[in-house]
Structure 1
Amino acid sequence: MLKNEKAFVVFSGGQDSTTCLFWALEQFKEVETVTFNYGQRHAQELECARQIAQQLNVKHTILDMSLLGQLAPNALTRSDIEITENPGELPSTFVEGRNHLFLSFAAVLAKTQGTRHLVTGVCETDFSGYPDCRDSFVKSLNVTLNLAMDHPFVIHTPLMWLNKAQTWQLADELNAFEFVRERTLTCYNGIQGSGCGTCPACKLRQAGLDQYLAQKNEQVSPL
């Protein structure tokens, strides 16, 4: 039973990973979060993750992955690179190898504590073309980690087949809707809550929220 086990949540303090954190708290006896400092240009992300973990009384570890930002220049680690999305191309916000490395390092940390469960908010439905958000990648990495460390890891992806509206719905079902709405940081410009409203992350988040609220209102409206 998962209720008797422990899990590590790969945690950024954003909408998706915070929803996954609430999900994990429902599923597991003990939960910890691990956040990565990879040179992201907004230190607010690290502070937001720390605050949320503290508010939910969850142990929080920050690992230094600053080398990733040096190896793979992108709009999330370089203020001189414009945030762009062009049809048929990966967005400039794509960080090469990020989920691969994050999950791998989280697995090393987890094994040192005898933990086998890892939780991540990757999603194939709204993945913006990121190859390391695909279900096939996660399943492949799960096998690789098990072989590499001779440990029975299980990578959980609660959001894999959900769109943003369904992610909001899940947060609501977990009684975390207002918490996620007000306290998380998804914005590429480092603005907590509803964000700047203009970057791709904010637009995706708001569109999902609008869709979910419209659906919810339809369900409660009288005939």
Structure 2
Amino acid sequence: MSVVALVSGGLDSTLIAYLAIEEGVKIHPIFVNYGQRALDRELAACEGAMRKLGLELTVADLSGYGVLIRSGLTDPSLRVLEDAFTPGRNMLFLLVAAAHAYQVGADAISIGLLHEETSLFPDQTSAFLQEAEALISRIMGRSIKVLAPLADFHKDEVIALAKQKGVESTYSCHLGQETPCGHCIACNEFNVEEV
């Protein structure tokens, strides 16, 4: 099996890459620049993690998306916590990953969504993933599975497993500052220091 894995430099997607390699899955990591405020730090963390795993990272430059679809994740004039919903972002990610999967002959794509109880937005649910998989298979003309390997996990379990697997030097703050802000959605998930 081969998978196109959406990787962001954060803990969840980096852990997914580690687990895929451990299971002998051929992985094609892809990072999406959607115009996010944290682009530089996310990309640097992602490049470092993929290099450590011996994987070649593909970077999709869709930076214009963040100009068109403004949110606290893309526009510094908006509040990063209260204005975090970026409409269509996860569908955009899945579509780009699926198109890449089609090109490289991969069977599936993966995204780092956690347990549905932690969902804040409609594009973080199991129903969304099921419908996205059906749509992707239709528009690609062949079956491409949509996987969320951490869908049964809560953040504390992800942190524990990541420590066990030796995942380090990830970056998850939406502001992109050297020191994570401690207040955005990504930082609030932690309650402990980023690994």
Normalised to the residue count of structure 2, the TM-score between the two structures is: 0.89
Partner of 1:190, secondary structure, is coil
Q: Which amino acid aligns with 2:26?
A: E
Gaps of 5+ in 2: none
Distance between the aligned counterparts of 2:150 and 2:100, measured in 1? 23
How does 1:153-168 map onto structure 2 within 5 Å?
A: 153-168=144-159
Partner of 1:7, secondary structure, is strand
Distance between the aligned counterparts of 1:41 and 1:191, measured in 2? 9
Distance between the aligned counterparts of 1:185 and 1:77, measured in 2? 16
Query: What residue in structure 2 maps to residue 17 of structure 1?
Result: 13
Query: What residue in structure 1 maps to residue 117 of structure 2?
Result: 125
Distance between the aligned counterparts of 1:191 and 1:185, measured in 2? 10
Gaps of 5+ in 1: 86-91, 211-223
Tell me the C-alpha RMSD between the 2 structures. 2.0
Q: Which digits, 9 at most, give the CA deviation of each residue in 1:32-83, with x for residues without a partner? A: 2100111111221122211211121111000011221122101111111122
- Count of paired positions: 192
Aligned counterpart for 1:151 among listed residues 142, 156, 163: 142
Q: Which digits, 9 at most, give the CA deviation of each residue in 1:64-122, with x for residues without a partner? A: 1122112210111111112234xxxxxx1121111101111111111111111111101
Q: Which amino acid aligns with 2:161?
A: L
**1:204: Cα distance to partner?**
1.5
Partner of 1:94, secondary structure, is coil
**1:147: Cα distance to partner?**
1.4
Q: Which amino acid aligns with 2:146?
A: I
**1:191: Cα distance to partner?**
4.5
Q: Which digits, 9 at most, give the CA deviation of each residue in 1:147-206, with x for residues without a partner? A: 111212111111113211111233245x23xx33xx0001123256x8333333222112
CA 1:29 to 1:197, structure 2 compared with 1: closer, same or farther past 3 Å? same
Whether the 8 Å CA contact 1:7–1:28 is kept in 2: the answer is: no
Query: What residue in structure 1 maps to residue 47 of structure 2?
Result: 50
Higher mean C-alpha deviation, range 45-54 or range 136-145: 45-54
Distance between the aligned counterparts of 1:83 and 1:189, measured in 2? 7
Distance between the aligned counterparts of 2:183 and 2:112, measured in 1? 23
Query: What residue in structure 2 maps to residue 114 of structure 1?
Result: 105
Between the aligned residues of both structures, percent identity stands at: 28
Distance between the aligned counterparts of 1:199 and 1:148, measured in 2? 35
**1:26: Cα distance to partner?**
1.9
Distance between the aligned counterparts of 1:49 and 1:94, measured in 2? 22
Q: Which amino acid aligns with 1:202?
A: C
Partner of 1:109, secondary structure, is helix
- Give the number of the structure whose residues are more often helix, by fraction: 1
Query: What residue in structure 1 maps to residue 183 of structure 2?
Result: 198
Partner of 1:125, secondary structure, is helix
**1:21: Cα distance to partner?**
1.1
Aligned counterpart for 1:139 among listed residues 118, 125, 130: 130
Q: Larger Rg: 1 or 2?
A: 1
Distance between the aligned counterparts of 1:167 and 1:154, measured in 2? 22
Distance between the aligned counterparts of 1:200 and 1:118, measured in 2? 24
Partner of 1:205, secondary structure, is coil
Distance between the aligned counterparts of 1:141 and 1:82, measured in 2? 29
